[in-house]
Amino acid sequence: MKLIVANFKMNLLIKDIHNYLEVIEQKLNKDQVIFCPNNLHIKYFSEKNYLVGSQDISFQEYGAITGDTSINQLKEVGITYTINGHSERRQYFLDNKYINKKVKLALSKQIKIILCIGENLKAFEENNTFSVLKDQIDNALKDNLNYINETNLIIAYEPIWSIGTGKIPTNSCLEKTILNIKTYLKETYNLNLKVLYGGSVNLENIDSLQEVSEIDGYLVGSLSLDPNKFLTLINKINN
């Protein structure tokens, strides 16, 4: 079964969430999909026993960090996962130091991590994809190996140039990059981790993406905002 993560980013209002929940009711496998709505909407999904993740956590467990949301507050409303290192967070708010701290904090609190990694267009064009990914992996995992196992960390490979742009890597490129990620994790850290693909997944490209055997699931942004389209996507993935 392929895992599917829905990242709503800053979209949707409470009325949309209620409508969304009505549309998907009884129509998906609750072990397959992890919803990552805005923090204000997490409880609506967790109350109905969907798997829920936050889009980020504060790097500190407690303290005076205005505007952040702590892991304990997020756990209280029902998350069991958190996205860490999404490229939009890396761009505006984070450096690798915080991503590394968040890995430790989340795993020590039994919250599973969806770690986003991905290269920008320049790195892709200059054939530097793998060295960027390797650095991102090393930075996140450094000193955290005691906490990590094969069920509590999932990698999401998201080329930055694919997110929200409609452009995706070719299948052979994806096959190679994801295999490189898995081989590196196995050889360096002795970890067999699931690797998801994220970036402009839609109803037009999903059949082709499904031919990439190394993809263990998908992280879906824009398309997940429409519950009917999202259900159609899940059906295509499962058939």
Overall size of the chain counted in residues: 239
Active site residue 41: no
CA distance 230 to 224: 5
Q: Which is nearer to ligand PEP, 133 or 201 (CB)?
A: 201
Interaction between residue 33 and ligand PEP (CB under 6 A): no
| Three-state secondary-structure class, residue 212 | coil
* Contact set for ligand PEP, span 148-177 (CB under 6 A): 158, 163-164
Angstrom distance (rounded) from CA 61 to CA 32 = 29
Please state the closest distance from residue 48 (CB atom) to ligand PEP, in A. Answer: 23
Annotated catalytic residue, options 41, 86, 88, 119: 86
Does position 37 interact with ligand PEP (CB under 6 A)? The reply is no
- Of 6 and 70, CB closest to ligand PEP: 6
Nearer to ligand PEP, 51 or 116 (CB): 116
Residue 220 contacts ligand PEP per CB under 6 A = yes
Q: How far is the CB of 180 from ligand PEP (least distance, A)?
A: 20
Shortest separation between residue 118's beta carbon and ligand PEP, angstroms: 9
76/55 Cα distance (integer angstroms): 15
C-alpha span between 40 and 47 (Å, rounded): 13
158 is catalytic: yes
CB 69: neighbour CB atoms within 10 A?
17
Among 132, 136, 200, 234, binds ligand PEP (CB under 6 A): 200
Least distance to ligand PEP, CB of residue 8, Å? 9
89 is written with which tokens? 């967070």
Query: Does the footprint of ligand PEP cover residue 219 (CB under 6 A)?
Result: yes
**Euclidean distance between CA atoms 71 and 50, whole angstroms:** 18
Kindly state the smallest distance separating residue 205's Cβ from ligand PEP, in Å: 11
Strands annotated E in the chain: 3-7, 33-36, 51-54, 81-84, 112-117, 153-157, 195-198, 217-220
Which residues in this chain contact ligand PEP in the complex, by CB under 6 A? 7, 158, 163-164, 198-201, 219-222
